[in-house]
Chains A and B, each alone.
Chain A
Amino acid sequence: MAFLQQLFPWITNGPLILVQVMSGLSVGMFLFLVSAGMSLIFGVTRIVNLAHGAFYMVAAYLMSSLVSLFPGHPLWFWVALLVSSLAVAALGGLIEVTLLRRIYRREHLLQLVLTFGLILIIGTLVLMVWGPENRTVPRPTALAGSLDIFGQPFPTYYLLVLILGPLIALALGLVFYRTRWGMLVRAATVDRDMLGALGVDVSRLFTQVFILGSWLAGLGGALAAPVVAVALGMDAEVLINAFVVVVIGGLGSFAGSLISALLVGQLQSFGILIFPAISIVLLFALMAVVLIVRPWGLLGRPEE
């Protein structure tokens, strides 16, 4: 113990470890929202939607414009959160119906080219509409401060994320495992052709799933907007992280992305304390290990 304490002086600092765990959890919750949508869309449509990060970015920009309409109004923040995430869901639906629907049966490379093209188009449109300046979104007044946790301050806004994240995970879990629609979605991830043969309108299901997945990306972006800078390039950053989480958790597995997001959050949180010099490598090292041991991810299913 004495040896450990010399190596890691923080190890007996209970409150610090607690705050570190909590900040890791909040990192994980943000990651979960974005990666769950990406994983869901892949599971059902088999499309790796590279534009998922762009949806996240659009929601954050919408949030920055909407919130400034009625600054300081206590309820307006929540309305803006809902409106911007729903607007992105609608955008996702539109893109699915007009573009993606045409390439489900094409080879993967073509799908990557299309969704990559969407990144560039959306990025340029955002630059044209909002301009190059960095933007920020103020936190709602009620959540602007911090809470004292055994002498360590902890931002209240993160507490909101810590509460909202599990609620959304729970709601999605109920939808997937307790409703007929959820059953169809799960069936589609296993064998969509069979589902179609059984008389289910698969194409409508795909659109619905895409809208839900885009909404999750939008919600992630809108929720993150008050704690990050709303800026060009935030799409690429989130896309890489979400992609790593999805790969670790297993492509298409909802529970997998939850577990993997939480794992990545903690890894990041304690990696910083233990190996500050290489903390950014840890994430990718974990991904490499998972890919070697279970190439289909923690909870994914091996492709046949």
Chain B
Amino acid sequence: MPSKHGTLWRVVGVAVLVAFVLGSAGVALAARKTPIRIGEINSYSGLATVYTFPYREGIEMALKEINDAGGVLGRPLEFVFRDDKLRPDEAVKAARELVFQERVDFLAGCISSSVGLALSAWARESRFLYFATHCQSSRLTWDDGHPYIAHTTNNTNQYVRALAKRAATYPYTKWAHISPDYEYGHNLWEEFWDYLKQLKPEVQVLKENWPKLGESDHSSYITALLQSGAEAFFSGLWGSQEIAFVKQAKPFGLFDKLHFFSASVGNPDELDPLGKDAPIGAVTTGFAWYDAGLQTLHPELLDWVKRYMAWSKGKEPKLGATWGYATAYIIAEAIKRAGSTDHAKVIGVLDEGFTMEFPWGTVIMRGCDHQALPPQWTGIVRVNPEGRPVLAEVEETHGKDIVRSCEEVKRLRLAAQKK
């Protein structure tokens, strides 16, 4: 009878299925121990993907290396990724889900500083250790710092000071700037100006420009800069907004009249799309792995680049890729040194601080503020023989030599508490 046959087959089918699932689970359990899991919250859709995709590739490459070498404390390291849609509330929601349902051991991630600060506040309340990564506000570990946060990439203070240090070697005293009108833009300009004034007290600012974040038409700001009488100007713009600014400024002759100093135009995300519109002669920061001088300074760099390109199917590494890669290794190192995933023990390791060697140089995890101090690079935009804009005349300054001291950080924290 067909119906009986049907029932029988169903029973057999289910039994086979159950056996298969049980069997494979048993095999899996036998083969690998429970992984150490990091809940990683970042913006994996929309406009930030230009930074977060290479960053994630860096993380995954490091995880492969770490796990092939036996993992951490004999357990595999695993990242669980969540999309924050660039919104602090989404990020905190994801944090709760990761901690209470996924039972991750630690939290990591951020590209937007407002997301980073929101996750940091949540981590402090919940006493759950959080590794801020790609976002860069100095407030994370300084003004708003606390034991439950660590920051695995450089903060604005370090790369802006590296740029200001180089700017101070030029004879300019009359300055102007253009920076996006939000927390990060103000932070960049203030850090730049503060350090430039320390190094060169005679500088004065003649014109400030505060376009809104994401403004697409800068022509009026460009003409305002042109008539400001300044000899040089600083730009805190970044990404697509700075590309638009540079494209619009070039036919106005802005870069012939004022020397251009930019925190981010040296990144390939901006230089490559700009192509022949790139601002030749601009002084900026960036990860110039192709620079011969940098490769001599760091003999293992080129080998790492080759491995990364094989991993990412031919894509050249960006700064974000090094940050993702370093983040996975820094978290692994902190757990290894603590000998456990116990938060108090890992925080103890972070409080002591440690130093790690990466293919691009030494990264110090400073104890007093849990802040990473990596090497900083500045360079000048030039065109290479293939006609591609690149960073040349690269100079390295280590973060530890320019960053605010632990004493200063203590004062910043006290001032923030009084507020």
- A269 in contact with B220 (CB, 8 Å): yes
Q: Which residues of A contact B244 (CB under 8 A)?
A: 227-229
Contact status of A136 and B239, CB under 8 A, knowing A155-B251, A155-B252, A276-B207: no
Contact A23 B49 (CB under 8 A): no
- CB contacts under 8 Å to B, within A96-132, are 123-124, 127, 132
A233 (CB) vs chain B CBs: closest residue: B47
* In the complex, chain A residues 13-62 whose Cβ is within 8 Å of any chain B Cβ: 13, 16, 19-20, 23-24, 26-27, 30
Q: Does chain B have a CB within 8 A of A77?
A: no
Cβ contact within 8 Å between B252 and A154: yes
* A124-B45, A152-B226, A231-B47 given; A237·B220 CB < 8 A: no
A253 to chain B: closest CB distance in Å? 23
Binds B, one of A85-93, A138-146, A294-302: A138-146
Q: A276-B210, A277-B210 are in contact. Are A228 and B220 (CB under 8 A)?
A: no
Partner of A233, one of B214, B222, B269: B214
CA distance A153 to B227 in the complex (A): 12
Known A132-B53, A232-B47; judge A157-B251 contact (CB<8 A).
Answer: yes
B209 contacts partner chain A, Cβ-Cβ < 8 Å: yes
Q: Hey, what's the 0/1 contact readout for B196-232 against A, CB within 8 Å counting as 1?
A: 0000000000011111101111011111101100000
Instruction: Indicate if the CB atoms of A224 and B216 lie closer than 8 Å.
Output: yes
**Residue from the list B47, B49, B220, B251 in contact with A27, Cβ < 8 A:** B220
Q: A127-B45, A134-B239, A272-B209 are in contact. Are A156 and B251 (CB under 8 A)?
A: yes
Whether B243 contacts A16 by the Cβ 8 Å rule is: no
Query: Which of B212, B251, B273 has the most chain A CB atoms closer than 10 A to its own CB?
Result: B251
Given contacts A24-B220, A228-B216, contact A132 B50 (CB under 8 A): yes
B interface residues, tally (CB under 8 Å): 43
The total of chain A residues at the interface (CB under 8 A) is 51
Partner of B252, one of A146, A226, A276, A280: A146
Contacts A134-B50, A229-B241, A237-B215; is A276 near B247 (CB within 8 Å)? Answer: no
- Chain A interface, DSSP helix/strand/loop, else mixed: helix
B215, B253, B274, B275: which contacts A146 (Cβ < 8 A)? Answer: B253
Q: Which residues of B contact A226 (CB under 8 A)?
A: 247
A-B contact list, 17 entries, CB within 8 Å:
A16-B223, A23-B222, A132-B49, A135-B273, A136-B274, A138-B277, A155-B219, A155-B252, A228-B217, A228-B243, A233-B46, A233-B240, A234-B240, A237-B214, A238-B216, A268-B220, A280-B210
| Interface set of B (CB-CB < 8 Å, partner A) | 45-47, 49-50, 53, 181, 207-212, 214-217, 219-224, 226-227, 239-241, 243-244, 247-248, 251-253, 269-270, 272-277
| Further contacts, 4 of them, CB under 8 A, given A19-B223, A23-B219, A273-B220 | A127-B45, A231-B243, A234-B216, A237-B216
The 10 closest A-B pairs by CB, nearest first: A231-B240, A155-B251, A132-B49, A229-B243, A229-B240, A233-B47, A23-B219, A232-B47, A280-B212, A269-B220
